[in-house]
Amino acid sequence: MAQAYRAETGSRGSGAERSGSRLRRLRDGWRRDQGGWRRGLVLAFFAVLLAVVMVVHSHIPNDVGNLGSLIETFLPWLGLGIPLLLILAFVRKSATALVAVVLPAAVWVNLFGSLVFDKSGTGGDLTVVTHNVNAENSDPEGTARKVAASGADVVALEELTQEAVPAYERALADTYRYHSVEGTVGLWSKHPLSDSRPVDIKMGWTRALRATVNTPQGDVAVYVAHLPSVRVKADAGFTAGQRDNSAEALGVAIRDEPVEKVVLLGDLNGTMNDRALSPVTSQLRSTQGAAGDGFGFSWPAGFPMARIDQIMVRDVEPEASWSLPATGSDHLPLAARVSL
């Protein structure tokens, strides 16, 4: 009886053999099923369409509801369509759809594959942090302490309220000897500041400043900016006109900046893919793209979906870029280490 049992179980083969057998049956079934190339044409169409949207995203017009900028804001998330199409192709047993899914997969990897890997180094002369602290933050001192704990040499804060500024000043005073506040943005530094002044980004009130940070390696012009917010409305689409005008004004200020080394810190309410920010992004490098680990999404803090906060540089070498733990804000703080 025992020998018969062993013979019976042995005939079933090992788990690997059974798995290989199933795969062979699936392969043979697909070979016999000649309709596999005729099924799933609609899925194949959507796979090709997804690839085309990712390739030509910069040419999608903004004339109607700023559709192009809206797509570009969440462009990496289009990649979620790839596994969905792949699963549906298997369910439909469509060879045509399976082959078509390769196209958007290749496009996504070409656009964003480099962001998946850690490119951070170990060098750097200056660590900088930017954080939209949220005007409704109920714990400004706690937020300030968390930011200071990052060890940053320079900290930029956006969305400061007049009532909360003294709390931030008190919490940061021991770590940062120098600071400057203009309107709703501020800059704190361990190194001396000079030539600090507001930057007009065409909003009617001050939401940007520039200051020269006098580091041991030389002067660095640091800009802090909070561009206007954007909204998605059913009747108007992606309302970003005011932000786009402010981005153009900020781009002009950076273009005319006489100091060679420039660092931009702030909430730009847009991603590096958004062509509307090209007056700024065409002049500067993103630290996340050059030396980051992952996408570095910063908003919303509970489930980050987009990197609308930015650290960008000119004539400065990014060494590392990362997100900091959540504070009392709806944005995550961002940090970068750069070589001067």
Task: Output the CATH code of domain 126-339.
Answer: 3.60.10.10
65-85 pLDDT per residue, tens: 788 888 999 999 999 999 999
pLDDT digit string, tens, across residues 32-51: 555 557 788 999 999 999 99
**Under 8 Å CB-to-CB from 195, ≥6 apart: which residues?**
210, 211, 212
Domain limits, CATH 3.60.10.10, in the chain? 126-339
Q: State whether residue 266 is helix, strand or coil.
A: strand
Rounded distance, CA 216 to CA 153, Å? Answer: 12
Residue with tokens 């006489």: 258
Q: Which residues pair with 220 in a beta bridge?
A: 213
* Tokens representing residue 98 in the block: 């399976």
For residue 297, report the phi and psi dihedrals to the nearest 5 degrees.
-60, 140
Tell me the whole-structure pTM to 2 decimals. Answer: 0.85
Average pLDDT over residues 296-301: 96
DSSP per position, 117-182: SB---S--SEEEEEEE--TT-S-HHHHHHHHHTTT-SEEEEES--TTTHHHHHHHHTTT-SEEEEE
Residues in the chain: 340
* SS3 state at 280: helix
Structure tokens at 306: 């987009």
> Which residue has tokens 């002369």?
125
Contacts of residue 192, defined as CB under 8 A and 6 or more positions apart, other chains included, come to 178, 213, 214
pLDDT of amino acid 240: 77
Q: Is the peptide bond before 140 cis (omega within 30 degrees of 0)?
A: no
For residue range 96-127, list pLDDT tens digits in order.
999 999 999 999 999 999 998 899 998 899 99
State residue 231's pLDDT score: 74
Task: Identify the pLDDT of residue 247.
Answer: 97
User: Phi and psi of 278, rounded to 5°?
Assistant: -60, -30
Point out which residues pair with 126 in neighbouring strands. Answer: 338
The rounded mean pLDDT for the chain is 90
- For residues 189-195, give the mean pLDDT: 98
